[in-house]
Chain A
């Protein structure tokens, strides 16, 4: 009873850690050449020295660009209260100039407790923005513009970007423009005028390496010894966890996970799923939890569909595949029946069913979307004459047959031979 409560508490602690980007990215902020420290240095020097700056954060999605930026801004707001105001724009919402300027004016109004009117024209909004920048410059307050999805702002005439970056060329304004984008060539998309005014500072966010992944997992999952949980439970939990982490099987699981997608967000999703699979009765993480999490993330819907097929349906699939291998581009149910008959003739199988039973199996496969018709035009024709095609690949079929509970040896042999 007590163990379940403890396990529940530990689960809550781990889950809250995984959902808190501040906790996740804090080990990366220690080293001096991490992106966190570089970004913090650039932004804090712009604030303290009152000079204008622009920086671009690039990297694949899910590598922590926005998370690190939020951390840095939070720290700076604590260090320099009342000296920074942040304006956030998103390329998906505000790529049109009118929308963008209106949004900037609205955020400025909210920040400085002024009244905002929706009826104000584009010109007036621009004048307001320039005026506010000047005022903030005089008051030594830095305005930080965060442009999310920066590459979407670079469509069209790029007037907003030109306007913002040009305002930074004058002595009166004090602003920093931070662009966040997942396109690596985001600065090549800029017009040459805009690119000339941009300061070419780029910070590249890369997915973590294998060692960093291990460190991150350890950092997140190891329970702290000074929490409210009893000491011996924590010690036992950590010992078992470190044991799992050192196993070869675990490394294989992590490799399989990161071979297709090595970003932080994918890893966090995996860990969340693994932690949720924890058995509350025992109260410790097991390697089976991680295996279950992996299979829930890397789902193969077609394989799951194959698991529920009957033997006859498997025969149909194998026949269709043999037809495809023989370069027969279009075939219909009749050709499949012919192939089925030829297999029966050559191998003398016991699974030989009548035509209408096979047609029923064919329709089942259609419903389950393991096969489909070539085109959707021939509704007048009956099912037997319309050309069909397979929707699963050879590998999926092979794997499905291998893991099928009582697959006839004939089918395995047919698949194997043609490999």
Chain B
């Protein structure tokens, strides 16, 4: 195995290099997955380190033409990340399997995968953290104010990275001899009024009654920052405002004033705003551009599949046993990265897969109890062998991950439509037929006519208009229909909220509905 380039050495690499490649604890069947992994990794890699893969045993889909990874980072980092992955996967294989019956192990694994256990180093976000840290360092050195806007989808590690930046900045300032800045980290959802943020910056508690003083906290701050300070050693203040879009009011005044605070000549605050919208700065802070002090924007892009695998493996690295089959992690990362790139979801799905394994264990134990009760003595000799076999298969496999993924991403609509009582299904069918020709909504009276037609077709006695509007209300409660308001029951407007294809799919098992939907 080629050694990793020196600059990128991390504690993980030193751990991995010392592990001998040849030590195989598990059966020979695992050698092929590792080889397959190397080939598929190198297929993505376009560096010279990758050996030329032969098209023999690999499935055609894995052999891709060498191309850049989707996140478009430079080649060198790509390569080293691939190598890091290979190192991790190597060390992954040489640990013993875990014992899911041991409660302590189970809770340790679940804790390692919980969203609230924040790792000490934030992997895959080094660039963004470095940029933010450099910006803050520059501000502290020059004793200048500045503003920064961090944006990205939920679950991409923004708040976590800002926590690390905060700690690193304080450490660096103390080391480098500068005055460590005051830090104020607030979540804007906890403010009952948006203008409270200024009083929080000033450091006062919110008074119950109106302040006696004539200046509002905002004016106070503005005055403070417009005059030269008497003492030269006033500390800088680092303000981290999470969920910044809660400060957006109709006239956008509060957000504007907050960012304008950094433009005053003697301002001492470094403002970092975190939100989800990429164009918040453009849309809501146009005046800042004219003043030429638009905040610097750092985008946290959604995690790619490789990044997710790396993060998951890093979390599992600390455990002394293997919990997941590598393909299972890969499947999870692939699916979640394709859907949203949200790390929380990936962690949640991994924990869900562990629970699938636990339920499978309990089922098999119960079955084993039954079968051993039936067969009695003869099973005694075979139990040690059975146990050995069982140990091998009790890691989280691809099947468990697939079930966990389908549970998360499946909508309950199809199941619910299939279990609705017959007349409610007929109502949905009649709505589909009514809205076939591009009509978007209809009244309950028109729906009832369509319903009566279908009942005649199916030779089922129809229900009266009162029961029909009751059933429409029940369907509206469940979110399948949308009912409007009107003076009379018959005039209420009805819209379908479910896709027609979903209804057709759900009811395809019943022949009469299928014919009816196709004929219409």
Contact = CB atoms under 8 A, between A and B. Distances in A.
A binds B: yes
Interface of A: 32, 41-42, 45, 48-52, 58-61, 121-123, 126, 151, 157, 159, 162-163, 166, 168-171, 182-186, 192-193, 195-197, 199-202, 204, 206-207, 209, 258-262, 298, 300-302, 393, 395-396
B464 A193 contact: no
B453 interface: no
B464 A302 contact: yes
Contact of B413 (A123, A184, A201, A258): A184
A5 to B, nearest CB: 40
B423 A260 contact: yes
B345 A200 contact: yes
B76 to A, nearest CB: 32
B359 A32 contact: yes
B114 A51 contact: yes
B111 interface: yes
B107 A393 contact: no
Contacts of B464: 300, 302, 393, 395-396
10 contacts: A52-B115, A60-B420, A60-B477, A182-B477, A184-B411, A184-B412, A184-B413, A185-B413, A196-B342, A261-B421
A163 B190 contact: yes
A260 B478 contact: no
B117 A260 contact: no
Nearest to B415: A204
Given A51-B107, A184-B413, A195-B154, 12 more contacts: A51-B111, A52-B115, A163-B190, A169-B115, A170-B116, A185-B411, A192-B154, A197-B154, A200-B349, A259-B423, A262-B419, A395-B461
Contacts of B106: 49
Interface in B187-244: 187, 189-190, 192, 206, 208, 243
A300 B470 CA distance: 13
B257 to A, nearest CB: 21
Contacts of A260: 421, 423-424, 463, 467, 471
A256 to B, nearest CB: 9
A18 B349 CA distance: 39
Contact of A196 (B189, B345, B421): B345
B362 interface: yes
Interface residues of B, number: 62
Nearest to B416: A184
Contacts of B407: 201-202
A58 B155 CA distance: 25
Given A168-B116, A196-B154, A126 B463 contact: no
Contacts of A59: 416
Contacts of A32: 359, 362-363, 366
A259 B362 CA distance: 37
Given A32-B363, A52-B116, A182 B478 contact: yes
Interface in B422-473: 422-424, 452, 461-467, 471
Interface in B334-376: 342, 344-345, 348-349, 352, 355, 358-359, 362-363, 366
A30 B64 CA distance: 50
B461 to A, nearest CB: 8
B286 interface: no
The prevalent SS among residues of B at the interface is helix
Interface in B260-292: 276
Contacts of A209: 419
Contact of B478 (A51, A60, A259, A396): A60
B348 A193 contact: no
A193 B189 CA distance: 12
A109 B58 CA distance: 64
B479 A171 contact: no
A44 to B, nearest CB: 12
Contacts of B358: 41
A261 to B, nearest CB: 6
A183 B452 CA distance: 27
B192 A207 contact: no
B111 A126 contact: no
A185 B479 contact: yes
Q: Tell which of A41, A42, A61, A184 has the most Cβ of chain B within 10 Å.
A: A184
A118 B206 CA distance: 19
Contact of A393 (B206, B246, B465, B478): B465
B164 to A, nearest CB: 16
A197 B107 CA distance: 21
A163 B189 contact: yes
Contacts, number: 135
B454 to A, nearest CB: 14
B408 interface: yes
Given A123-B206, A196-B154, A393-B464, A51 B412 contact: no
A228 B244 CA distance: 68
A185 B410 CA distance: 11
Contacts of B497: 185
A184 B478 contact: yes
Contact of A193 (B208, B243, B412, B479): B243
B246 A157 contact: yes
B189 A159 contact: yes
A358 B420 CA distance: 47
A183 B246 contact: no
B276 A193 contact: yes
6 smallest CB-CB distances across A and B, nearest first, come from A196-B154, A183-B479, A262-B421, A206-B419, A49-B107, A259-B422
A176 to B, nearest CB: 13
B189 A199 contact: no
B474 interface: yes
A26 to B, nearest CB: 19
Contact of A184 (B155, B421, B422, B480): B480
Contacts of A262: 419-421
A183 B423 contact: no
Interface string B137-163: 000000000000000011100000000
B107 to A, nearest CB: 4
Interface string B388-423: 000000000000000000011001110110011111
B412 A61 contact: no
A170 B452 CA distance: 56
Nearest to B155: A196
Contact of B421 (A163, A186, A259): A259
B110 interface: yes
Contacts of A42: 355
Contacts of B208: 121
A182 B480 CA distance: 11
A258 B421 contact: yes
A182 B412 CA distance: 12
A32 B463 CA distance: 38
B114 A204 contact: no
Contact of A183 (B107, B366, B411, B478): B478
Nearest to B417: A184
B344 A196 contact: yes
B266 to A, nearest CB: 31
A45 B114 CA distance: 13
B304 to A, nearest CB: 17
Nearest to A261: B421
Contact of B412 (A50, A169, A204): A204
B196 to A, nearest CB: 9
Contacts of B421: 207, 258-262
Given A184-B413, A393-B465, A61 B115 contact: no
B427 to A, nearest CB: 10
B415 A61 contact: no
A163 B192 CA distance: 12
A300 to B, nearest CB: 6
Nearest to B366: A32
A202 B412 CA distance: 9
Contacts of A162: 189, 243
A49 B477 contact: no
B421 to A, nearest CB: 4
Contacts of A58: 412
A310 B115 CA distance: 74
Q: Tell which of B246, B465, B478 has the most Cβ of chain A within 10 Å.
A: B478
